[in-house]
């Protein structure tokens, strides 16, 4: 049944067209701010954003145009060849899972809304791996630098060093999962790659106008992150 669902999604979307996709040198996402208004494309298609923290050991998150975090995972690929083989399968299977869930929530009188990954955002500049994800999606990904999303979501103190930023990301991601996730609050250790993929995806969703909360991260008056009670302790 799962294979049939993946096949159905592959038949419904445009075929992947392998082509060289080089990472742009610009550090910005290139996403036009929409002032909190969702674009007509998102409304018509059921747009999904796949955010990838690039690497063979990497993280990925999936946001809907409704501003909901649908999924996040820590990923590991054996090598570049494995990534090229598995990235298209991941895109197809994640789309299929979203569409299967949507079909189960729709009454028989209404046609289910079709969802598709319309945006892929990547943090990281490894050209072969960047190209692999671009080919898997069939379009050039959006480029996001770590500094860009960190400036938006982390405090200056949290950005004081790379290790501080990664530790803060693991905490802030818990809040994003609890506040915007379709799943339960995260329990246990939060892998850094997955946490950063969640935050980068949350930032791009904000730039697309899919999330509008201001400030984007809830904090106490002393600047500390408000955490879900279940995960208040690391």
Q: What is each CA distance from 229 to 21, 71, 100, 162, 232, in whole angstroms?
A: 43, 21, 32, 27, 5
174 vs 231: CA distance, rounded Å: 8
Residue 124 CA to its chain's centroid (Å): 14
Overall average pLDDT of the 84-90 stretch = 97
* Residue 106 pLDDT level (bands cut at 50, 70, 90): low
53 vs 197: CA distance, rounded Å: 5
Q: Is the pLDDT of residue 11 over 70?
A: no
pLDDT at 109: 60
Which is more confidently placed, 11 or 214? 214
Nearest partner of 95 among 68, 71, 123, judged by Cα:
71
In the three-class reduction of DSSP (H, G, I as helix; E, B as strand; rest coil), residue 51 is classed as strand
Q: Is the pLDDT of residue 40 over 50?
A: no
Helices (H), 13-79: 40-45
Overall average pLDDT of the 158-175 stretch = 97
Q: What is each CA distance from 40 to 37, 52, 113, 210, 217, in whole angstroms?
A: 9, 24, 15, 12, 27
28 vs 147: CA distance, rounded Å: 10
**Residues constituting the chain:** 234
């Amino acid at each position: 049944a799962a294979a049939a669902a993946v096949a159905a999604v592959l038949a419904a979307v445009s075929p992947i067209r392998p082509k060289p996709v080089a990472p742009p040198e610009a550090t910005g996402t290139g996403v036009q701010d929409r002032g909190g208004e969702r674009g007509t494309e998102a409304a018509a298609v059921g747009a999904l954003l796949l955010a990838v923290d690039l690497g063979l050991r990497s993280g990925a998150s999936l946001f809907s145009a409704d501003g909901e975090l649908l999924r996040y995972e820590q990923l590991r690929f054996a090598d570049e060849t494995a990534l090229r083989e598995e990235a298209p399968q991941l895109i197809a299977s994640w789309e299929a899972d979203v569409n299967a869930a949507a079909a189960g929530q729709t009454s028989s009188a209404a046609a289910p809304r079709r969802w598709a990954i319309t945006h892929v955002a990547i943090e990281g500049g490894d050209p072969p791996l960047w190209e692999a994800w671009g080919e898997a999606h069939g379009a050039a990904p959006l480029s996001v630098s770590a500094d860009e999303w960190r400036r938006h979501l982390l405090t200056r103190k949290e950005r004081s060093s790379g290790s501080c930023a990664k530790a803060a990301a693991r905490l802030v991601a818990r809040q994003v999962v609890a506040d915007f996730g379709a799943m339960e609050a995260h329990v246990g250790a939060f892998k850094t790659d997955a946490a950063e993929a969640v935050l980068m995806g949350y930032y791009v969703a904000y730039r697309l106008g899919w999330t509008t909360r201001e400030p984007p991260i809830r904090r106490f008056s002393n600047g500390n992150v408000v955490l879900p009670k279940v995960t208040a302790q690391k």
